[in-house]
Chains A and B, each alone.
Chain A
Amino acid sequence: MLAFTSMPDPGQTETPVTLAQLDRQLILLTQDGLPLVPRPFDALATTLGVSADEVKARFERMLANGCIRRIGAAPNHYRLGYRANAMTVWDVDDARVMELGERIGALPYVSHCYLRPRIPSQWPYNLFAMIHGKNRADLDGYLTEMTALLGNARRASDLLLSTRILKKTGMRFSGGQ
């Protein structure tokens, strides 16, 4: 199988990469999805005035440098029956958060897991994990499991249930670039 996925190096920093104008055009053109036609890369190439090989080479390069995380189907959890969705936030010992973040991120019900900065006296949590269940009871079970996994590295945590999606579009680039 010809699969291209980005493989982040564990020590990878999130340094912005300078993108060529053509890469930005490609992003703008595909952020709502690839054209569902037999030869999508040819279709994009025609629009951009380059070859299909050039389009594929640019996708491969952006996968390699981490500008593209993956190419594939983006599921809508809610529509798949995952009606209970929450952001869980954890205050995890800095010395252990790298190892534990990877393990939390690998749990099957976690879709996204990020390290983010705390805000002194405002926000004590440094680990964010989005969890998805069919109902609230599922989420409670997951929380118990995550709490056990984090053990004594966890100082505090909170669960922010998603009450309502107010806006959800694909990740967008605003124009002008």
Chain B
Amino acid sequence: MSALTSPTSTHTPSTNTIELSGLEKAILSDYQKGFPLTPRPFYTLASQLGCTEAEVLACLQRLQQLGVITRIGPVFNHRRAGASTLAALRAPVGQLQDIAELINAYDEVNHNYLREHDLNLWFVVTAPDADHLDAVIRNMETATGLKVRRFPMVRPYHIDLGFRPDFD
């Protein structure tokens, strides 16, 4: 159980403060959307940012290595391009580790968070179509013996805007 009680994530193990350059901050603030679809997009970015294409590429590689960005690329809407839902279940505390591992093992699960609530495991399930999604969730219910609650998105508000980091 100790692995589940730490507040830090396995995917972001270090908690030291990261010093970001002006260029890195500018990329993070201004390029969460609107990536140019030009033949040499990093050159286009560079000319907008007043630096070289090589500097932009190096900067993006460093941001990825540091884990500050997970990637630069398209953010897909799985509701449109397939099927997805937020889902949650009540994992008994003693079985939390086992159930979390079982849920994580599905390729169709891309986020899984432990949250402070009676419904304590929250995860996103995506599939190529609604039938596949339904089959995966039923399979989870059989495997865990627990009811999986579904919270499909009805509509998003403003989510195409990205999140603006505050660098003060």
List A residues at the B interface (Cβ < 8 Å). 1-8, 12, 14-17, 19, 23, 27, 30-34, 36-42, 52, 56, 59-60, 62, 65-83, 87, 101-102, 104-106, 108, 110-117, 119, 122-123, 128, 132, 158, 160-177
Contact = CB atoms under 8 A, between A and B. Distances in A.
A86 to B, nearest CB: 8
A76 B159 CA distance: 16
A73 B157 contact: no
B70 A170 contact: yes
Contacts of B66: 79
B92 interface: no
Which among B104, B126, B158 has the greatest number of chain A C-beta atoms within 10 A?
Answer: B158
A1 B158 contact: no
7 contacts: A14-B79, A19-B81, A67-B80, A71-B73, A122-B149, A123-B149, A171-B84
Nearest to B124: A171
Given A73-B28, A104-B157, A164 B4 contact: yes
Interface string B110-137: 1111111101011110111110100000
B9 A165 contact: yes
Interface of B: 4-12, 15, 17-18, 27-28, 31-44, 48, 53, 57, 60-61, 63-64, 66-84, 86, 100, 103-104, 107-117, 119, 121-124, 126-130, 132, 149, 151-166
Contacts of B164: 108
Contacts of A112: 156, 159
A175 B126 CA distance: 11
B2 to A, nearest CB: 12
B152 A116 contact: yes
A32 B71 contact: yes
B123 A167 contact: yes
A16 B82 contact: yes
Contact of A80 (B40, B44, B165): B165
Contacts of A62: 74, 81
B74 A14 contact: no
A37 B162 CA distance: 24
Q: Which of A15, A33, A70, A113 has the most CB of B within 10 A?
A: A70
A177 to B, nearest CB: 4
Given A30-B74, A167-B109, A171-B110, A73 B31 contact: yes
Nearest to B63: A73
Nearest first, the 9 closest Cβ-Cβ pairs linking A and B are A33-B71, A105-B157, A105-B158, A3-B34, A70-B33, A165-B9, A71-B35, A167-B112, A111-B163
